[in-house]
Amino acid sequence: MKVVHYNSQLKNDWNNMLQQAMNASFLFHRDFMEYHQDRFCDHSLLIYEDNELLALLPAHLEDGVLCSHFGLSYGGIIHASSLTFTQFIAVIEALAQHCKSQGIHSLILNEIPTIYSQTPTNNLAFLSSALNGNLLSVQLLSTLDLANPNPLNTNRKRMIQKGKKQGYYIAEDPSATSFWQAVLEPRLQERYHTTPVHTLEEISQLMEAFPQNIKQMNVYNAQGEIAGGTTLFIHPQVVHLQYIAGKEEDNKNGALDLLMHTLIEQYKSTKRYFDFGSSHSSPKQLNQGLLYWKESFGARSVPQYCYVFTIENLLQSHALIGG
């Protein structure tokens, strides 16, 4: 095994690997990862065996800890479905040897939620149990299984019908400007005293770079004024709502409810999961009202685990495969 620190000359190798990986995402494309490269000390790694690229680790370095990846929704080890568990352990040991040589003492893996993987796998849970990893956090994602959806509850049906009667309509916007300036930024500031993770300039840049993966869907009132919207991150089998916001009065009239219902109907024949994202108000507390709203569409909780391992323990990974 050979571990190579990513550099721009390996961009094609990196991006080509994403085409065959079972748990890849456009979030790991170098053009996406590098939009905020000024905020992170990139330490992404490529793992080869006999010149064959086996796996990728999108990561950054922070105070002697290799993190995968705090600048993205998730990280973890990216690999093809052909990778066996024995090979996976060899990859882990190679990563640990690299970390030791670089003076890195810990590795944080913010795993890719299972709904984003085209082949079911959960190697990290076993690795954590066997090598004394610590569960750093668990985030709950509210996800609707479009192949086996739970029914809408009565309140949601009523609000969707109310939205229709009020004359709201849905349309895609090639720009995020109206949503950001008229809805998202004011609502986040008003309710949470915060700002979006992406600036308008950044999301505009990303929409231009990934037109098939990032779409802005808005809801408008009968007069054509924007009432709310959602920024979609579209993956092979998942539609994820990266941002959702609506003006307060329009929310009361069913604008966002109609938007969600319309999108669910639109994607139910082409995607497996509709991911509303998390409802955390803090790492260990959920926003009850937001959670209820998502679950009223039929969504249920899917966990996303974040593990931390000491490099010293990971160096013992070879012992996990016996005779």
pLDDT of residue 119: 86
Q: What is the pLDDT of residue 323?
A: 64
pLDDT at 205 over 90: yes
pLDDT 10s digits, 165-181: 999 999 999 999 999 99
pLDDT exceeding 90 applies to what percent of the chain? 91
pTM exceeds 0.85, yes or no: yes
Instruction: Give 114-151 pLDDT, tens digit per residue.
Output: 999 988 788 999 999 999 999 999 999 999 999 999 99
Per-residue HEC secondary structure of the chain comes to CEEEECCHHHHHHHHHHHHHCCCCCHHHCHHHHHHHCCCCEECCEEEEECCEEEEEECCEEECCEEEECCCCCCCCCEECCCCCHHHHHHHHHHHHHHHHHCCCCEEEEECCCHHHCCCCCCHHHHHHHHCCCEEEEEEEEEEEECCCCCCCCHHHHHHHHHHHHCCCEEEEECCCHHHHHHHHHHHHHHHHCCCCCCCHHHHHHHHHHCCCCEEEEEEECCCCCEEEEEEEEECCCEEEEEEEEECHHHHHCCHHHHHHHHHHHHHCCCCCEEEEEECEEECCEECHHHHHHHHCCCCEEEEEEEEEEEHHHHCCHHHHCCC
Q: Say if residue 322's pLDDT is above 90.
A: no
Q: What is the pLDDT of residues 42-61, one digit of tens each?
A: 999 999 999 899 999 999 99
Give the tens place of pLDDT for each residue, 232-280.
999 999 999 999 999 999 999 999 999 999 999 999 999 999 999 999 9
